[in-house]
Structure formats: structure tokens, C-alpha cells
Amino acid sequence: MKNRKTAVFDGLLGDNTVLSALMVISPVIVCGNTLENAIALIYAFSAITFFSVVLSSFVPRRLPYAAKIIFYAVIASIVYIPVKTAAREFFPEVVTRVGIYFPLLAVNSLIVVQTEAKFFRMKRGAMIGSLVFCILGFDAVMLITAFIRELLAYGTICGRLVDADTLISGLALPFGGFIFLGLLCGLYRKVRSAVGHDSDNTGGDGNVSGN
Amino acid sequence: MFLVTELLSLLATNLILTQALGTSTLFIAAGNKKNLLRTAIAISVFTSVGSGAAYIINRLLPDGLSDLTLLFYTLIIGIIYVLLLTALYFIGSESFGNTRKYVHVSAFNCAVMGTLFTVTERADTYPQLNTFFNFVLSGIEAGAGFILAAFILTAAYRKLNSAKVPASFRGFPAMLVYLGLISMAVYALR
């Protein structure tokens, strides 16, 4: 049986939000190709998810499942409004570049699926801890993906040119994102099984419902 | 020839293969044919009815309140979600327990919400597409595109999950790489 304390950290390492549970992968695949995009998306995802899940935890538990999911999605859509207003101030170009992926962060699986399946089965303190690590799990993958893809596709780091001999421009495109994430996911599993976190590293881990 | 052209156009505009929208839902659907068909039907209902409703909201919502678009789209999907569950309940209350999970999975995800935003974005770029009929048609196309992508994944599902694939890459990682290769081919079509 899994230790309760380590379970709280799972979203980051043991059961990573993106690499293990395959949640919120669309923004990573399509927009995770520059660090500038990544930072803006990390800010938006973290703010929307954290406040939405915390506020949603006050929705009465007795409501039918469908009603609760609608409430959670509506809460996230309301939280999205000030987050987007602030993003327009700090990342005006990125908000335009990221386009539809910005509002789509508000219907991510952590809010509409994991709330009922995982977070709201915990006590509030543990829930917030687990939520923070799930968010950090996404943030870490987004940063790593964006750093490597930007470096290899554009030969830049945060928009500054570096001395890169060979560029793989396709890595910045969605198909490059799919392939890169697939490879990263495989590498993550290999490392996880090597450190003994997972005795069976075959497919099917995590919850893939949602985004 | 007409069918081939339509198939190519469906591939070239496919939301999963070109924009990675609804990829995780696709992985659930591709698991078996029953899941595939039911999830695809539920998603098609959400995308087509939702797109029609999105057209009406776009017309009614003043430009200055565009940040509320997501909220209204969420409410639309919420209403369709409740109506669909109610309809399923009255159609077959015995099978309701099995069928409702497909509606739950399909309601709030990137495939559905992404379709509403993509159709709206396209209509903003090409004003001739800004008609109710076109919105609904685009919603149906998105649903059909989901089915097509799911069939493509289903075709290789067993092999990607077989023991011949290294354990670390078996399942999701292999499926992501496979989708990447299909997406690359689709990119060449555009």
C-alpha cells in the first residue's frame, strides 16, 4: 500500500500529471515549443487549476456527479477571466500566439476529472499539497519540453541565439511535440522503473480521461 | 474520387492530428470498438450541437465581453450534458449505468471545447464561414475527424501494446510517437 505522505508528491515524480497520467497534454504538444510560451502557460495553468480546485472543494458533495462537474467547469471559467486579464498585461504576445489553448486550460483534467476521482477524497490540507505537486508536475514537464524543443528547433534559449549546429525545425510543430512527448514519456517510465517506483511499467497507468 | 478528397480534407483539418485536441480521450476510445463508437457519438453530439449554440452566443455577446466566451461555452456544454444524460435515462434506464460514462468522458474536454473555439476562430478569419449552418457542419466534421483519428489509432492499438514493444515505451509512449508520425503525414497534406 502506498505511503500517504509519498502519495501527496506523486503528481510531480511518481505519477506525473503529464508523463504518467497523460493529462493536459495538448498545450504541451502544441504550445510547449518556446520557453516564453511555457512560462505564460505555466502561470495560467497553475493559477486557474489551483484556485478552481480549491474553490470547487466548497461545492456540496451531495449534488449529483454531473451537476458537480458543471459547477467545477463554471468555477474554472470564472477564475479564467482575471487570470487572462493579468496574462494580457504580462504576456501580451504569448496570449495571442497561444490562442485557443489559453481558455482550454480551464477545462483541464485536474479540474473536471481529478477533483472527484482524487482530490476531494482527501482531507483539505493533503488535497492542497497533492494539488500543488500535480501542478508542479505539469510545470516541470512544460519547462523541460519547451527548453529542449526551443533549443533544438530554433537554436535559441528564451529567444536568445545559442551556438547550435543542427536545427530540427519539425520539433517545434505539433507532430514534433507528439514524438518528443512520447519519447519523454518512455524515458520517464524507464527511470521510474529503474529507481524501483514501479514494478510493472507497462501501459495503462494513470487516468487518461479528460483532456 | 469524391470520397478520397473528403477523406483527405477530413485528415488535413483533423483537430487531433493537427492541434492535439482530445488526445487523451482518443486513447480511451481506441481501447476497444465499443468504447470507440460510443465516445465518438457522444463527442459528435457535443461538437455539433455545441457549435450551433456557440454561433448564437457569438452573435449575442458584445465584443467588449469576449472574455466571457469561455463561461458561456461552458454553460452550453453543461446544458447539453444534462440534456443528453436525461435523454439517455429515458431511452434506456437499464443501460443508463453503462452509457452515461461516455457522456461524462466527452462533456468537458479539449476535443469539444477546442472545436467551439476553433470554429469561432475560423469564422473570424473567414467571414463567409460565419453562418449557423457552417458552425454545425464544422462541429459534425470535428466529430467525424475524431472517429477517423480513433480508427487510425485502433488499427495499431494491439501492436503498440504488444510485448514486442520495449516495456517502457509500451502503450501511451508508443501511441504518442505513432500519432506524431501520422500527424507528420497529415502535415505534408496541408
Write out residues 116-145 of A within 8 Å (CB-CB) of B.
none
What sign results for the dihedral spanned by CA atoms A90, A88, A40, A7? positive
Decide if A124 is inside a domain. yes
pLDDT at A211: 44
- The answer to whether A211 contacts B25, with C-beta atoms less than 8 Å apart, is yes
pLDDT band, very low/low/confident/very high, at B26 (cuts 50, 70, 90): confident
Using CA coordinates, name the residue in chain B closest to A96: B121
* Residues of chain B positioned with their CB less than 8 A from the CB of A78: 71
Decide if A203 is inside a domain. no
- The answer to whether B168 contacts A181, with C-beta atoms less than 8 Å apart, is no
Quote the ipTM score.
0.89
Decide if A204 is inside a domain. no
- A166 close contact with B: CB closer than 8 A: no
Pure H helices in A106-173: 109-112, 114-117, 124-154
Distances (CA, A) of B156 to A183, A201, B67, B131: 18, 20, 41, 38
Decide if A117 is inside a domain. yes
- What global pTM score does this model have? 0.89
pLDDT at A210: 41
State the Cα angle at B16 between B13 and B20, rounded to 5°: 120
Range of A7's domain?
A: 2-198
- The answer to whether A178 contacts B177, with C-beta atoms less than 8 Å apart, is yes
Is residue B157 pLDDT above 90, yes or no?
A: no
Decide if A206 is inside a domain. no
Q: For B61-75, how does the pLDDT look when each residue is reduced to its tens digit (9 = 90+)?
A: 888 888 899 999 999
Q: For B41-54, how does the pLDDT look when each residue is reduced to its tens digit (9 = 90+)?
A: 888 899 999 999 99
Q: Based on the structure, what is the number of domains in chain A?
A: 1
Decide if A210 is inside a domain. no
